[in-house]
Structure formats: structure tokens, C-alpha cells
């Protein structure tokens, strides 16, 4: 370490939302860990959709490095006709409660994926089941994999275009999901020793009134935290979300939701919390404490 390192090297950089090839991420757990280290991240949560399958490989890859890997998952839930994503952080991967809930979610994904493929077939788009699974490489199938297959057919130039035309609510390939409830997700996360976090609250296209209703319901159901900081958000949104975290007495989290290398989202980028909120990691051991010669406060 040279003394030219800026003060930022003294701060622990947390990125608590990311995906690997275990769900719809493009990088293997090992590749994701290598990239996080290169980006200066110190604590990375792997939060694949409805699975923890990528965590063990990531933790092995991070052994002896400057990076600690947190075992997480991102659970799709159903609330008031909206799909709300709940991140679980620091869960015990093999706890029966979380294992059972995630297994049920994956079964629902399978059923939904077959129905999506049937609907697309009716619309004249062949082989979507096989096509999506080629992209999923025998791991869990998401709409993201269908989107990649449809892009490969030239049906739109990018995934966003595919979602807009085929996969979002009301479109040919949209199948209303049967996900678990927010309460079920929180309970399983807690039984597995973890903290429950509302993922990307700014991305549900909820009015302020409905977003507050969601956060209020989440907090009343025992939820712990909400994501406040992401790299692709306006300063205004970050400030607003920090205010909600205070209002509903939720801890604050931050994460890139990294899926693949691209120009606008990067691991660890622009992740910091506004003042006045309590970080979700406030009671976690700082993985750099011994390295820096700090003593934990107990
Ligand atoms: P699923 O959980 O199977 O419903 O798939 C949802 C995933 O699709 C999200 O986690 C995103 O990774 C991806 N996704 C959703 N909407 C879009 C979009 N407009 N453009 C690109 N990817 C999207
Ligand atoms: Mn995704
Ligand atoms: Mn999500
Ligand atoms: Mn995500």
C-alpha cells in the first residue's frame, strides 16, 4: 500500500446487490468476485434471484483477498398486484426455511417459464423454452434469459426493447406471477438469520403514496432495511429514499444490482449513503478492521 492512496481506501466499500450466472447475471461467481476486487469493493453481497447457488463459489474465490462475500438472495414477491423484490442479506444458505421458500419460488419460475414459452409460440416465436434455457445454462430461468433469446432473434435491438414489446405486464409473453408474499419472504430470511431489504424502491413505478404504503407495510411486517443508494439514480431520488428510510425507521442499504459489464452500471460505483440514515451493515463486523488495526467496539 502506498501513501498516495486517497482516504477512500480507508473506507469500506459495500455493494450489497449483485447477480451471477446462478441467475440472470452474465459473469460467473469467480468472475464477479475478480471484478469487484478490481473495482475496490470490500464487501459484496451476491443476491441472485431466488437462489444462493452462486455464493459458495464466490466465497471460495474471495478467500485471502480484500473482499468479503455476503450470502444473499433476491426474492420476487407479490404485493397489491405489484412484483416487489426483497433482498435477504447474511442468510444461512442451508437453513430449512429459506431452502424451502427458494425451492418453491424456483418451481414457480419453471412453471411460469413454460407458460411464457407457450405464449410466445402462439405469437409465432418458436423454441423460446430451449432458447431461454441455452442462455440460462441449466441454471434458474428468468425473463432476462427470454429477453436475450428474443434479442438474438432480432425482435428488438436490446433487452429493454424486448421487455417493452413482449415481456412486461400486458404483453404477449407476460405471465402473472404467483410469487410468495412479502411477509413470507421476511419470515424465511429472519429464520435463516438474515436481514430483509426492499430492493430498488424507485423502480416499481409506484406513486409516492403507494411507495410509502409499501414501505409502511414492509416495516410493520418486520422488514429491516431498504435500498437507498444505487448508481443509476438521481440525487433527488437518493435524498427522497433516505428520508423514507428515516420515516419508516428502516436501515439503509446500497447496491449496484450489477448483471453484466455495461457502460452505465458498475460494481461499487457511486455507492454512498446520505447523512441521517443507519447503514444495514452497522452491526456487521468490518472485514477490514483487523487489516487496518482497528478494534471493533464489541
Ligand atoms: P424475472 O425475475 O424472471 O421476472 O425477471 C426479471 C429480471 O429481468 C430483472 O431482474 C431484470 O434483470 C430483468 N429486467 C426486467 N425489466 C427489464 C428491462 N426493461 N430491461 C432489461 N432487463 C430487465
Ligand atoms: Mn435480474
Ligand atoms: Mn430486482
Ligand atoms: Mn437484482
Sign of the dihedral through C-alpha 288, 290, 295, 297:
positive
For residue 295, being part of any structural domain is answered with no
For residue 176, being part of any structural domain is answered with no
Ligand nearest to the CA of 141: 1
Strand ranges for the chain from DSSP E: 14-15, 43-46, 68-79, 82-89, 195-198, 225-229, 251-254
Q: What pLDDT, in 10s, does the model give residues 259-291? A: 999 999 999 999 999 999 999 999 999 888 765
Question: Closest Cα to residue 89, out of 16, 15, 169?
Answer: 16
Q: Considering its fold, how many domains does the chain have in total?
A: 1
What CATH number should be reported for the domain holding residue 85? Answer: 3.20.20.140
Across the chain, mean pLDDT equals 94
Q: Is the CB of 25 under 6 A from ligand 1?
A: no
Q: How confident is the model at residue 127 (pLDDT cuts 50, 70, 90)?
A: very high
Pocket test for ligand 1, best of 143, 157, 160, 170 (most atoms within 8 A of CB): 143
For residue 162, being part of any structural domain is answered with no
User: Which protein residues have their CB within 5 A of the ion that is ligand 2?
Assistant: 24
Question: Closest Cα to residue 197, out of 102, 281, 266?
Answer: 281
For residue 9, being part of any structural domain is answered with no
Instruction: Return the pLDDT at 177.
Output: 86
What average pLDDT does range 147-175 have in this prediction?
97
Instruction: Return the pLDDT at 132.
Output: 97
Alpha-carbon span 129 to 268, nearest angstrom: 34
Report the nearest-CA residue for atom 6 of ligand 1: 143
Q: Is the CB of 144 under 6 A from ligand 1?
A: yes
Residue 30 scores a pLDDT above 90: yes
Question: Cα 187 from chain centroid?
Answer: 18
Q: How confident is the model at residue 295 (pLDDT cuts 50, 70, 90)?
A: very low
For residue 152, being part of any structural domain is answered with no
**Residue 137 Rama label (left phi>0; alpha psi -120 to 50; beta):** left
Q: Is the CB of 22 under 6 A from ligand 1?
A: no
For residue 81, being part of any structural domain is answered with yes
Report the nearest-CA residue for atom 2 of ligand 1: 142
**Residue 46 Rama label (left phi>0; alpha psi -120 to 50; beta):** beta
Backbone angles phi, psi at 206, to 5 degrees: -95, 145
Q: What percentage of the chain carries pLDDT values higher than 70?
A: 94
Host domain of residue 195: 14-116+181-254
Alpha-carbon span 140 to 167, nearest angstrom: 17
Instruction: Return the pLDDT at 123.
Output: 95
User: Which residues, in sequence order, are CB contacts of 111 under 8 Å at separation 6+?
Assistant: 178
Q: What pLDDT, in 10s, does the model give residues 74-122? A: 999 999 999 999 999 999 999 999 999 999 999 999 999 999 999 999 9
Q: What would the grid cell of residue 31 be?
A: 468472475
If 0-12 CB within 10 Å is exposed, 13-18 middle and 19+ buried, where does residue 279 land?
middle
Rounded to the nearest angstrom, the distance between the alpha carbon of 199 and the centre of ligand 4 is: 7
Question: Cα 284 from chain centroid?
Answer: 19
Rounded to the nearest angstrom, the distance between the alpha carbon of 233 and the centre of ligand 4 is: 15
Instruction: Return the pLDDT at 291.
Output: 57
Report the nearest-CA residue for atom 14 of ligand 1: 144
Q: How confident is the model at residue 10 (pLDDT cuts 50, 70, 90)?
A: confident
Instruction: Return the pLDDT at 290.
Output: 64
Question: Closest Cα to residue 278, out of 217, 232, 211, 224?
Answer: 224
Alpha-carbon span 280 to 142, nearest angstrom: 28
What average pLDDT does range 152-166 have in this prediction?
97
For residue 223, being part of any structural domain is answered with yes
For residue 237, being part of any structural domain is answered with yes
Q: Is the CB of 24 under 6 A from ligand 1?
A: yes
Amino acid at each position: 500500500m502506498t501513501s498516495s492512496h486517497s482516504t477512500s481506501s480507508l473506507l469500506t466499500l459495500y455493494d450489497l446487490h449483485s447477480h451471477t450466472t446462478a441467475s440472470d447475471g452474465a459473469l460467473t461467481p469467480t468472475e464477479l468476485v475478480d471484478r469487484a476486487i478490481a473495482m475496490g469493493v470490500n464487501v459484496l453481497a451476491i443476491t441472485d434471484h431466488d437462489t444462493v447457488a452462486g455464493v459458495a463459489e464466490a466465497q471460495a474465490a474471495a478467500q485471502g483477498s480484500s473482499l468479503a462475500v455476503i450470502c444473499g438472495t433476491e426474492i420476487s414477491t407479490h404485493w397489491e398486484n405489484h412484483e416487489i423484490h426483497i433482498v435477504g442479506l447474511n442468510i444461512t444458505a442451508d437453513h430449512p426455511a429459506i431452502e424451502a421458500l427458494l425451492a418453491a419460488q424456483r418451481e414457480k419460475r419453471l412453471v411460469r417459464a413454460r407458460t411464457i414459452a407457450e405464449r410466445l409460440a402462439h405469437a409465432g416465436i418458436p423454441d423460446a423454452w430451449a432458447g431461454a434455457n441455452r442462455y440460462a445454462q441449466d441454471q434458474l430461468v428468468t425473463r432476462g434469459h427470454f429477453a436475450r433469446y428474443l434479442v438474438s432473434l432480432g425482435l428488438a435491438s436490446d433487452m429493454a426493447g424486448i421487455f417493452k414489446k413482449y415481456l412486461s405486464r400486458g404483453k404477449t409473453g407476460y405471465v402473472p406471477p404467483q410469487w410468495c408474499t412479502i411477509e413470507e419472504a421476511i419470515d424465511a430470511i429472519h429464520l435463516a438469520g438474515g436481514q430483509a431489504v426492499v430492493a430498488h424502491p424507485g423502480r416499481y413505478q409506484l406513486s409516492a403514496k403507494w411507495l410509502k404504503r409499501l414501505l409502511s407495510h414492509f416495516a410493520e411486517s418486520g422488514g429491516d432495511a431498504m435500498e437507498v443508494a444505487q448508481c443509476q439514480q438521481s440525487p433527488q431520488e437518493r435524498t427522497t429514499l433516505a428520508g423514507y428510510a428515516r420515516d419508516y425507521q428502516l436501515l439503509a442499504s446500497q447496491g449496484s444490482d450489477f448483471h453484466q459489464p455495461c457502460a452505465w452500471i458498475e460494481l461499487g460505483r457511486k455507492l454512498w449513503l446520505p447523512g441521517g440514515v443507519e447503514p444495514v451493515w452497522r452491526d456487521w463486523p468490518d472485514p477490514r478492521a483487523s487489516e487496518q488495526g482497528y478494534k471493533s467496539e464489541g
